[in-house]
């Protein structure tokens, strides 16, 4: 039987990185986006993922066996408190119900490490870490997970929820952490940071795409962290970037005040990803950052 996947947000930062891995796993790939795109091997369908009627028509046309739902509000500086977060939650659940009515088999959503409590210092675990979001974005993602899990248990649809941590790479928004360091360095301008002691779990977006594709192809259910599992201080990552660019003199640690509420550590426990989905991040941080520098340098 042909495994046919519909990917929402297929033309986006994460979505485009899932396409080649999905093809390598034997999926026939269809993608949904608000604007037409040309990303072989994906067949493009133009629709707004918030428009239930439009998505119903896409599902009726494609008849997917699998659905990888990545579309959500993502504008940097806005998405944490975006009033649209509940609308995306509701649209996701409506999409799941429509998918189930059409005979769909497996539904995978993109969640967030923001669903967890960030009050501790140890690795964030799907089984042990409290789920206590601090922002509307994380709350909407958590409510989506909980409702989708309950529905799938009754509706006969296999469901998994990939909790994404801190990705970087091609097509990333310029204001995010890694580009915000790279771009000043490439312009021979100071990269001003806090003291950078915060430990974060950075993962190349190409690995994120590959891990999400593997999760979709697996039979693993429930929440799964999508991350490297390796902590790195932001200061150390900034120094790596400066060495790659050749301007270590431009890193200004402590130039910005630290936020009082900035968690000291946000790092994933990747036991489920590596032990159950049988996939892991493969791109070393230094190599991924070097590729990111080359990507931004090529764009002037």
Could you give the domains of the chain?
A: 4-166+202-226 (3.40.50.720), 168-199+231-267+285-298 (3.90.25.10)
Does the reported pTM lie above 0.85? yes
pLDDT tens-digit readout, 62-83: 999 999 999 999 999 999 999 9
- In this model, does residue 1 exceed pLDDT 80? no
- Does residue 173 register a pLDDT over 80? yes
Provide the pLDDT for residue 66: 98
Structure tokens at 289: 């950052």
| Average pLDDT over every residue of 125-148 | 98
How confident is the model over 210-217, as a mean pLDDT?
Answer: 98
DSSP string covering 108-123, please?
EEEEEGGGS---SSS-
Cα 274 to chain centroid, rounded:
17
CB-CB neighbours of 156 under 10 Å = 10
Mean pLDDT over all residues of the chain? 97
41: preceding bond cis by omega (within 30 degrees): yes
| pLDDT tens figures, 270-298 | 999 999 999 999 999 999 999 999 999 99
């Amino acid at each position: 039987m042909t495994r046919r996947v519909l990917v929402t947000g297929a033309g986006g930062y994460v979505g485009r990185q899932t396409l080649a891995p999905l093809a390598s796993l034997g999926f026939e790939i269809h993608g949904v986006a608000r604007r037409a795109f040309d990303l072989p091997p994906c067949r493009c369908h133009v629709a707004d993922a918030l428009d239930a009627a439009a998505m119903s028509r896409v599902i009726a046309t494609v008849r997917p066996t699998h659905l990888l739902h990545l579309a959500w509000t993502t504008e940097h500086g806005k998405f944490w408190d975006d009033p649209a977060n509940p609308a995306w939650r509701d649209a996701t659940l409506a999409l799941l119900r429509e998918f189930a009515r059409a005979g769909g088999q497996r539904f995978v959503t993109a969640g967030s490490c923001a669903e967890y409590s960030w009050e501790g210092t140890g690795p964030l675990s799907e089984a042990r870490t409290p789920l206590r979001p601090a922002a509307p974005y994380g709350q909407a993602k958590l409510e989506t997970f909980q409702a989708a899990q309950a529905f799938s248990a009754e509706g006969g649809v296999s469901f998994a929820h990939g909790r994404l941590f801190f990705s970087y790479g091609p097509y990333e928004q310029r204001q995010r952490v890694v580009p915000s360091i790279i771009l000043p360095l490439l312009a021979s301008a100071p990269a001003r940071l806090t003291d950078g002691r915060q430990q974060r779990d950075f993962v190349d977006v190409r690995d994120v795409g590959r891990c999400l594709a593997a999760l979709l192809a697996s039979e693993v259910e429930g929440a799964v962290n999508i991350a490297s599992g390796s902590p790195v201080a932001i200061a150390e990552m900034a120094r790596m970037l400066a060495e790659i660019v050749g301007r270590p003199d431009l890193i200004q640690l402590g130039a910005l005040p630290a936020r009082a509420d900035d968690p000291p550590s946000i790092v994933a426990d990747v036991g489920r990803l590596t032990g159950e989905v049988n996939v892991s991040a493969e791109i070393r941080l230094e190599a991924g950052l070097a590729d990111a520098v080359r990507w931004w340098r090529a764009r002037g």
